Structure 1
Amino acid sequence: MAEGQEEHFSRTQRLKAAVHYVVGSLCQEVADDKEIDFSKQAIAAISEITFRQCESFAKDLEIFARHAKRTTINMDDVKLLARRSRSLYAHISKCSDEIAANSLEQKEKKKKKSVSGGNVSRNSDMDTVVPESKD
């Protein structure tokens, strides 16, 4: 196996392990809350399905951006991905709107800050340096 392939394989294995850990943690939370148990095989299956679905999502997002002749995936791509699930689409749209509103607020604050920073009045007498005479 080439060095690049080994690195890719290693990274993929680490990602799969991370997904498995998170899925296991979530299953444990549900098990505690609902008083049910998950078998190790069920957790492994959920982890594998989750990982494959994420790979599929990543490919789709890349294709959507490329189709729009962009190199950056944006919220429109994510919304397009979620279009088949009404509840997911609604949640993503809500989050997108909140992010946009927060971004607009931050821009307004920066704009106000830069405008107020430029209007600082100065006493020109204090800024002028006059050398003392040696009389």
Structure 2
Amino acid sequence: MEPGQREEEEEEEEEDQQQLTLIQNLKATLHYTVGSMCQEAADAQGVRFTKPAIAAISEVTFQQCEHFAKDLEMFARHAKRSTVNMEDVKLLARRSGSLLNYITEKSEEISRVNQEQKDKKKKKAEGGNKKSSKQAVTEMDIDD
């Protein structure tokens, strides 16, 4: 085996290890969150969740998220985009009326907040330009 080839294989192995570590961390975080949610539901409903049940819910949730990610990527690619947007998310949620309504409401809320921020920036920029032009007029008056 040549030295260059060995280095490439070591780099690939290191990348694979990093990817595995990231996935394990993500799964652990998801498992913790599912456990917390199950505990809240158990307290509210007076039921008990076994550890295997929590683990199963966590694994199914992780797998579903993987499917969602692939579907979102395909929706964007089909539209000849490299970025997933809100329309892709709505398309993903189309089979669940309540989820689609929730996502649509949040999307509109985000759009409204973004528009308000743009308007504030625009007003601020226009206000700054007015001050600049007044200062320029004052400076011109002084020079004359």
Fold match, TM over 0.5?
yes
Question: In structure 1, what residue type is equivalent to 2:92?
Answer: L
Q: Describe the shift of the 1:125–1:40 C-alpha distance in structure 2 as closer, same or farther (beyond 3 A).
A: closer
Question: In structure 1, what residue type is equivalent to 2:43?
Answer: D
Question: In structure 2, what is the equivalent of residue 101 of structure 1?
Answer: 112
SS, match of residue 83 in structure 2: coil
Q: Describe the shift of the 1:125–1:81 C-alpha distance in structure 2 as closer, same or farther (beyond 3 A).
A: closer
- Kindly indicate whether residue 48 of structure 2 is the aligned counterpart of residue 37 of structure 1: yes
Tell me how far apart the structure 1 counterparts of residues 123 and 129 of structure 2 sit (CA, whole Å): 10
Q: How far 1:2 moved relative to its partner?
A: 2.1
Bigger proportion of residues as helix: 2
Spell out, residue by residue over 1:61-90, the C-alpha distance to the aligned partner (whole angstroms, 9 max, x if none).
111111111111110000000000000000
Q: Describe the shift of the 1:58–1:127 C-alpha distance in structure 2 as closer, same or farther (beyond 3 A).
A: farther
- Kindly indicate whether residue 138 of structure 2 is the aligned counterpart of residue 124 of structure 1: yes
Q: How far 1:9 moved relative to its partner?
A: 1.4
- Kindly indicate whether residue 91 of structure 2 is the aligned counterpart of residue 77 of structure 1: no
- How many residues get paired? 129
Question: In structure 2, what is the equivalent of residue 8 of structure 1?
Answer: 19
SS, match of residue 108 in structure 1: helix
Q: Describe the shift of the 1:103–1:125 C-alpha distance in structure 2 as closer, same or farther (beyond 3 A).
A: closer
- Kindly indicate whether residue 39 of structure 2 is the aligned counterpart of residue 25 of structure 1: no
Tell me how far apart the structure 2 counterparts of residues 125 and 119 of structure 1 sit (CA, whole Å): 14
Identity between Structure 1 and Structure 2 (%)? 55
Indicate the RMSD between aligned Cα atoms, in angstroms.
1.9
Tell me how far apart the structure 1 counterparts of residues 124 and 18 of structure 2 sit (CA, whole Å): 47
Q: Which has the higher contact order (CA 8 A, sep 6+)?
A: 1
Structure 2 length normalisation: TM-score?
0.83
